[in-house]
């Protein structure tokens, strides 16, 4: 490529005419979940290094480990918080809040298509305290559905805001043919401690503001 062509390409990039590709996603909802399963027992350490989440050796489960090495089994909410299930490999994404005060697990109780939900733990006094299901978020997400028969929207954590005080959540209409708007996506900004919805946004707005945060299920097909 000649000097003029290179100069022209540089000008186009500077002007934003050619958008740089987003980094490859490794997660389903969040672009880069914390590695836990298959991490050689090391688990995912909190940013302040006072606790971690690791897989149970030889079992398809996770546990919380505090600074002294005490172990606490973890469970996540099933469909809309109506049951508790063990988080398992391939259907669970783990993410620590930057301030290490919260831990979120996006997990499915029905396979890769769903039902996906978010279970949030507040880390206090060296223990992980599971917060109640975010009912307001479930109700709002389910209003997106245009499905035949009872269905629940999938929910996944895409990232943390304000150090962990807020969460960026993706809601997805289940991607199967029972729903007329199958796979449709919306974004929510949610207060972590209370689950209160702070902002609702279209998929276009979600992509525009946080394009590199989104996992593979929340990115457009090339």
| pLDDT tens figures, 2-38 | 444 433 434 333 334 444 455 688 899 999 999 888 7
> What range defines the domain where residue 160 resides?
25-218
- Two structure tokens written together for 50: 């006072």
Asked if the structure places residue 12 within a domain, the reply is no
pLDDT of residue 220: 63
Coil vs helix vs strand at 143: coil
> Within a 13 Å sphere around the CA of 181, how many CA atoms are in the beta-carbon half?
13
Asked if the structure places residue 19 within a domain, the reply is no
Asked if the structure places residue 15 within a domain, the reply is no
Q: What is the four-CA torsion angle of 27, 29, 33, 38, rounded to 10 degrees?
A: -50
Asked if the structure places residue 6 within a domain, the reply is no
Asked if the structure places residue 9 within a domain, the reply is no
User: How many domains, the chain?
Assistant: 1
Asked if the structure places residue 127 within a domain, the reply is yes
Asked if the structure places residue 2 within a domain, the reply is no
Tell me if 172 sits within 8 A of 183, measured CB to CB. Answer: yes
Asked if the structure places residue 164 within a domain, the reply is yes
Strands in the chain per DSSP E? 44-45, 52-55, 62-65, 71-73, 76-77, 84-85, 92-96, 102-108, 116-124, 127-130, 154-161, 166-172, 185-191, 197-202
Over the chain (222 residues), what is each successive 10-residue block's mean pLDDT? Answer: 42 40 80 83 88 88 92 92 88 96 93 87 95 96 92 95 98 91 95 98 95 87 51
């Amino acid at each position: 490529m000649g000097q003029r062509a290179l100069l022209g390409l540089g000008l186009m990039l500077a002007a934003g005419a050619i958008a740089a590709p987003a980094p490859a996603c490794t997660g389903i909802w969040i672009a880069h979940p914390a590695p836990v399963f298959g991490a050689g027992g090391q688990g995912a350490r909190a940013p302040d290094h006072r606790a971690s989440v690791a897989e149970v050796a030889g079992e398809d489960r996770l546990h919380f480990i505090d600074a002294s090495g005490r172990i606490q089994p973890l469970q996540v909410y099933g469909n809309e918080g109506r049951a508790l299930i063990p988080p398992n490999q391939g259907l669970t994404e783990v993410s620590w809040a930057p301030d290490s005060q919260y831990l979120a697990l996006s997990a499915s109780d029905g396979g890769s298509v769903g039902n996906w939900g978010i279970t949030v733990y507040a880390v206090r006094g060296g223990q992980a305290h599971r917060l109640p299901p975010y009912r307001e978020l479930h109700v709002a997400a389910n209003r997106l559905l245009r499905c035949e028969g009872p269905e629940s929207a999938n929910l996944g954590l895409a990232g943390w805001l304000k150090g962990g005080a807020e969460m960026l959540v993706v809601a997805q209409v289940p991607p199967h043919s029972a729903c007329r708007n199958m796979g449709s996506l919306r974004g929510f900004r949610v207060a972590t401690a209370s689950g209160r919805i702070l902002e609702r946004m279209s998929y276009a707005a979600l992509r525009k503001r946080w394009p590199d945060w989104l996992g593979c299920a929340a990115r457009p097909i090339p």
